[in-house]
Amino acid sequence: MTLQNVYARDYQTLNGSWNYIIDPFDMGYYDYRLKENPNGFFKNQKAKHKADLVEYNFDTAPLMLIPSDWNTKNSQLFFYEGSVWFKKDFNYSPQPGKKTFAYFGAVNYDAKVYLNGEKLGEHIGGFTPFSFDITGKVKDGSNFIVVRVNNERHPEGVPTVNADWWNYGGITREVLLVDVPELFINDYLIQLEKGKYDNITGKINLSQPVAGKTVVLEIPELKIKQTLSTDASGAVSFSIKAKPELWSPENPKLYEITLASGEEKIKDKIGFRQVETVGKEVRLNGKKIFLKGISIHEEAPFRQGRAWSPDDAKILLGWAKELGCNFVRLAHYPHNEYMVREAEKLGLMVWSEIPVYWTIHWDNPATYANAQKQLNDMINRDKNRCNIVIWSVANETPHSEARDLFLANLAKFAREKDNTRLISMAMEVTGTRNNTSKVEDYMSQYVDIISFNNYLGWYGGRVEDAKTRQWEIPYDKPFFVSEFGAGALQGKHGDKGEIWTEEYQAELYKQTLAMYNRVEGFAGTSPWILVDFYSPRRQLNGIQDFFNRKGLISNNGVKKQAFFVLQDFYKTK
């Protein structure tokens, strides 16, 4: 069970210093016959007398701040992929009549979690939250929690073995102990009814199937106070006549919502809006809108490593606002909840994506189940965030019948789970002939926006080709350029024909933006990318040094010339 709106609950943080043990041979998990060891590191054993043989000791192991990634916290682990064990001692006082959950914002990638030497459970996937019910297991007084984290890449994984971002290992988001009543509000959805502006609808679920329980919904600013009663499944649906002020980039209006049942009261801030496509237009609240975007990785500004905090979100999204954006593509996986909520406050629409990236094992049922679970968990966590306007199911995937079936099923699942947002994915250009590039994809029938990545002038062709390039996009749908760009080392200068210079990157931006602006149905773009980020694929000494240099801002926070080219373009839209 994963709690909705965890930060509105009564919680205690386990962030801070955790002991860690590097375990490249997984000797803390397996015995020497590679069978799971019932007395592994999770037991946190201590030598009780001189003759005891215990070949590890968490108490004398080094410390690491959590949340974080081990790659940037320990230089010896920069390239490390494998297992690391983390242990946290904590004191706790269980409250009578309360349930307690151990909540993890994200762990990359395979997490096995133990409390006081006993296994709570495990979770696969590096970017979605999970939790375990520890009621009756957490003791009054001293406790310890141990997590085995393994970030090894697997061909059947999601993402798979090949990617263009750093495989940060560790407990990368917050760890909380959350107290809730025995019967609590587990989940809720509050939104405008699709296609209407005068009706707020939704559903509230209690944690148990109990009928006749009272739930009070309040939206004070709209003078709404509804007393509702649950059905036999412990749920209640509602429909309330109201005409809220609409959320938009120009006016990111959020209403304080209160849900109360029994002794529990939860507060949230929710906005109301409609998003749709009509022909070749994207419409927000019934009006055509151009998506002035930028792609962002969950890479910490200035210091590098995995971003996770409210301060990280404010810096990254502050740069996007300075750029003139009304939209951000949070690539290539669900970003942390602070990022999404801060974007909502700032009036930034969001594209949220799962890491179905490049060459997934399309024929593997377990791979599909993994991808669908990540899609489900992404939607569950953020379905009340009105600024999310696009759920994306994939990025740059090679065409095949198996791939088409895999992605079509994901798109249909997303549509069934949430039909109030747009569905898309980052496609690829299928070919160029007689100076005309074509975008054609089986998935066009399942998406609302034809989104594609194209690096004319960087991966093939010349910048000058953009002046005459024609485009064939044979669909009565808006098209969105989800990626374009060029690498530039901040501070490297030359003429506009020399790659890796700021001048080359700026010229490519000028010509590319002008090219797409001439094509009917151009609904927006999210160039690649806001900030330089670590990637093991980018090794060129003296230029890349393991950074993807396509950022408009350097890893040190300095803006490149192309930043101002895009900023000027967005002023015209």
| Residue 488 pLDDT | 98
- Does the domain at residues 276-571 carry the CATH identifier 3.30.420.40? no
CATH 3.20.20.80 domain residues, the chain: 276-571
Copy the structure tokens of residue 181: 């009543």
Side-chain half-sphere of 397: how many Cα atoms within 13 Å?
32
- The SS3 of residue 340 is helix
**DSSP per-residue string spanning 10-45:** EEEE--EEEEEEEETT-TTTB-TTSSB-TTSGGG--
| Gap between the Cα atoms of 394 and 233, Å rounded | 34
| Residue 1 pLDDT | 63
CATH of domain 196-272: 2.60.40.10
| Residue 3 pLDDT | 85
DSSP H stretches of helix in 400-495:
401-417
Scan for tokens 């975007």, then name that residue: 293
pTM of the model: 0.97
Phi, psi of 343 (to 5 degrees): -60, -40
Listed as ranges, residues in the chain with pLDDT below 50 are none
- Does the domain at residues 6-181 carry the CATH identifier 3.40.50.970? no
Phi, psi of 458 (to 5 degrees): -125, -60
CATH 2.60.120.260 domain residues, the chain: 6-181
Helix (H) or strand (E) holding 514: helix 502-517
Number of helices and strands (H, E) in the chain? Answer: 7, 33
Phi, psi of 327 (to 5 degrees): -155, 140
Helix (H) or strand (E) holding 142: strand 141-150
Radius of gyration of the chain (CA): 25
Q: What is the pLDDT of residues 85-142, one digit of tens each?
A: 999 999 999 989 999 999 999 999 999 999 999 999 999 999 999 999 999 999 999 9
CATH 2.60.40.10 domain residues, the chain: 196-272
| Residue 245 pLDDT | 98
